[in-house]
Structures are given as C-alpha cells and as structure tokens.
C-alpha cells in the first residue's frame, strides 16, 4: 500500500473549512472504495493537509456584486495552484475546494475542475425571526441578502419587503436577524493549522446585528455548518431558483495532473490519463449527475456573459433519463421575469453544455439581455 500526502488550499472561514474537510474525507473514502471494487493489487491512500489562503473577498468591503463578483474569493486560491512547483514549501497548494456557485464560469488556463462532489440541497432558505415565512413576514419587513438574484425573486414574491444588502460569513449574516444576534459573536478560523474561536466584532459584515427580520442563505451552507434548525422556510425552486452551481463543491487542480485534462473526458480515466494518485482519486470521487447538472447551468451563464451581479437563477437535474434545465432571468427590481425550461437526452458533459447554450440562446431571443442588463448578444 502506498501513501500520498497533498496540500488542500482553503479560505479560513468556518464554512470553507467545513467544506474542505468534507471534500478531503469524501475523496479519500471514495477512492478507497473504488480501488476495493476494482480489486487494485497495489492500493493507494491519499490524505490532505489543509492550508489557509486569505482572499481579496475576505478583506474588501462593499457590495459583493461591485467587487468583481464571487470570483474574488477564488482568485487567490487559484494563484496558489498556478504557482505549482515554483511555490515555496509553506505556500504550496495541490488542490482547491470551491463552492461552485462562487467560481467564475469561464475556464482558468492551467487549471481544471477535476471532480464535482455529489450536490447538497441546492435550495435557498429563509432564516427569520419568530418562525416567519416569506408569506407571513409583516409588510415592510427588512430581509437581508447580498445576491441580486435572490433580491429580484424576493421582490417578485413580495414587492412590499425592504431588501437590505448584507455581507459577511454565515454566522455574521444570521446575526443580522433580530433575536439571532448571538450567531455573529464569534467565528472559527484556522491559525497556523490550529482551529480557534475568535471574536468577530470587526471586519467585513460585522458592523450591525439584529437589524433585519430575516435573511436568505443557501440551505447547503446551513446544513454543512449544523445550522439547519434555524431555517424557517425552504424556498422551493418553483418560487426561487438557486444560483448556478449552488450546493455543489468543485475540486480544482493543475492541468498537469492529467495527460489529457479536457473537462469533456475527465469521467474516463483511460482517456484523461491521470499522472499521479491525486488525479486518480479525484476521478473516482466525481459525481456524474451533479457534473452534468452544473455543466448545463454554467454553460448557460457563460453564454449569457453573466456573473453573480446578474439576477439569474438556474437549476438542472436528471429526471427520468433526461437532463432538465430550469432558468429564470429577472429585472433587478423583480417586476419582470423570463422563465424557460428545456431538456436533453445527451447525458454527457458536451451534451449538458449544449443544453445550457441552447437555453441561453432562447432567452436572448426572448429579450433576456435587455431585461437583466446583460452584455451578451
């Protein structure tokens, strides 16, 4: 049995650390199962050590949509990966874990998303005071979100609500809800590979607490942090479509981990030809249906030339042998919306991407660019 150690780069927030640990444990266990199933004569064990990387999005203030979008959280991690063998030992990173909804849809030269783990619940959730729901919030209630997509769909459901732009980690945002202020009191961080609890009374998003009646967050993040009990309403995709990639974790590595790093063939180890244990383990951990779904969603986003500043929701899933993609494009104020659904029987990555592009073209023909302020033509 051979043992291989790799460095996993992560942001230092509680959610990022939790997701990175989930990814490390999932890759390790699924690769072990894969080898046992295929009767590998010389089994390989992969282990990961977490290394924190501070990103620009962790220190800049202001609305997220005006800071370059969610990609500000991925840029520093990606640079560490690209530094590759030229990085010093204390800065070396072999793999990065991203919330897929936070990863720009355009490919990054030199890097490849080698695995997408099985998707967690993709829905949005309302966390409100006194057990309230979207329908029972009093008129004029203040609802916090930093997402133009969520804001537009909330305004469509309840034009009378006051939407408050908020930022910060999950605990800080929950702490903006009246009665849940204690959740903003501390944060978990990693200092020199040691987890500590620190006061979160300074930094991005910590200026206020208890000033909202509710906030909207991703169910996946709340579940991973053990805070699902705070959810007062799960928002069904028929009412609020999630962000493309929401709930999915993307595992990104250097292209040099594969002789053929083409994303279209990464489901086939014989074609992709991983060069060491890391690549082999990631291919074993990839969840095919999740990969198909997010490939369609992100292809749509690329064709629309849209990022997190655009009020676009998309959710794909395999239903009775077809990949079905549901999309909403909204005006920022939520007063007008385009909804579109399409499907394909091509259950491979190229087919999923063609579905996403086709739906995007249909939406552009329907006037999506003018409606949502997109630059796509």
Question: With 60 as the cut, is the pLDDT of residue 261 above it?
Answer: yes
Which residues neighbour 180 within 8 Å (Cβ) at sequence distance 6 or greater? 127, 129, 174, 210, 230
Marked catalytic residue, from 78, 101, 224, 291: 101
pLDDT band at 187, cuts 50/70/90? low
pLDDT tens-digit series, residues 346-359:
999 999 999 999 99
User: What pLDDT is stored for residue 342 in this prediction?
Assistant: 98
Q: What is the mean pLDDT of the chain?
A: 89
Q: Is 149 a catalytic residue?
A: yes
The beta strands (E) that lie in 16-137 are given as 44-52, 95-99, 111-116, 124-128
Marked catalytic residue, from 94, 102, 124, 213: 102
Cα distances (angstroms) measured from residue 367 to each of 152, 214, 285, 359: 17, 33, 40, 13
Marked catalytic residue, from 11, 78, 150, 227: 150
Marked catalytic residue, from 173, 176, 224, 227: 173
Marked catalytic residue, from 11, 123, 142, 149: 149
Question: With 60 as the cut, is the pLDDT of residue 317 above it?
Answer: yes
Q: Is 291 a catalytic residue?
A: no
Q: Is 51 a catalytic residue?
A: no
User: What pLDDT is stored for residue 85 in this prediction?
Assistant: 74
Q: Please state the separation of Cα 6 from the chain's center in Å.
A: 23
Across 125-150, average pLDDT? 97
Marked catalytic residue, from 78, 142, 167, 254: 167
Q: Is 199 a catalytic residue?
A: no
The least confident of 47-61, 245-259, 299-313, 349-363 is 47-61
Q: Is 239 a catalytic residue?
A: no
Q: Is 358 a catalytic residue?
A: no
Q: Is 303 a catalytic residue?
A: no
Write down the pTM of the prediction. 0.89
Strands 233-235 and 95-99: unpaired
The least confident of 69-73, 181-185, 351-355 is 69-73
Q: Which residue has the higher pLDDT, 195 or 321?
A: 321
Q: Residue 182 and residue 172: Cα distance in Å, rounded?
A: 9
Question: With 50 as the cut, is the pLDDT of residue 371 above it?
Answer: yes
Cα distances (angstroms) measured from residue 13 to each of 77, 273, 274, 299, 332: 14, 34, 31, 29, 29
């Amino acid at each position: 049995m051979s043992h291989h150690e790799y460095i996993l780069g992560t942001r230092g927030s509680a959610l990022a650390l939790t997701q990175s640990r989930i990814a490390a444990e999932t890759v390790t266990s699924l690769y072990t199962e894969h080898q046992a199933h295929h009767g590998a004569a010389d089994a390989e064990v992969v282990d990961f050590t977490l290394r924190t990387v501070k990103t620009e999005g962790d220190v800049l203030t202001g609305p997220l949509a005006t800071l370059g979008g969610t990609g500000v959280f991925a840029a520093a991690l990606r640079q560490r990966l690209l530094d590759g063998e030229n990085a010093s030992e204390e800065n070396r990173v072999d793999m990065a874990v991203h919330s897929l909804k936070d990863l720009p849809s355009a490919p990054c030269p030199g890097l490849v998303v080698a695995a997408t783990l099985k998707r967690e619940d993709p829905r949005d959730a309302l966390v409100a005071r006194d057990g309230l729901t979207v329908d029972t919030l009093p008129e004029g209630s203040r609802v916090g979100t930093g997402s133009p997509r969520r804001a537009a769909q909330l305004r469509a459901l309840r034009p009378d609500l006051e939407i408050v732009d908020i930022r910060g980690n999950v605990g800080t945002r929950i702490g903006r809800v009246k009665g849940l202020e204690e959740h903003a009191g501390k944060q978990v961080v990693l200092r020199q590979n040691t987890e500590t609890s620190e006061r979160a009374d300074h930094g991005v998003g910590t200026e206020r607490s208890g000033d909202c009646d509710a906030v909207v967050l991703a169910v996946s993040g709340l579940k991973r942090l053990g805070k699902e009990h705070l959810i007062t309403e799960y928002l069904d995709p028929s009412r609020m479509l999630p962000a493309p990639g929401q709930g999915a974790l993307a595992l990104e590595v250097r292209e040099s981990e594969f002789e053929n790093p083409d994303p279209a063939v990464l489901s086939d180890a014989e074609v992709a030809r991983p060069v060491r244990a890391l690549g082999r383990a990631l291919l074993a951990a990839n969840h095919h249906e999740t990969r198909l779904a997010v490939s369609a969603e992100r292809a749509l986003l690329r064709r629309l030339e849209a990022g997190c500043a655009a009020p676009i929701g998309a959710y794909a899933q395999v239903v009775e042998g077809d990949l079905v993609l549901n999309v909403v494009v909204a005006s920022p104020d939520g007063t007008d919306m385009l909804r579109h659904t399409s499907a394909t029987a091509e259950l491979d990555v190229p087919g999923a991407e063609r579905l996403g592009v086709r739906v995007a073209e249909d939406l552009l023909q329907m006037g999506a660019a003018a409606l949502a302020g997109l630059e796509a033509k």
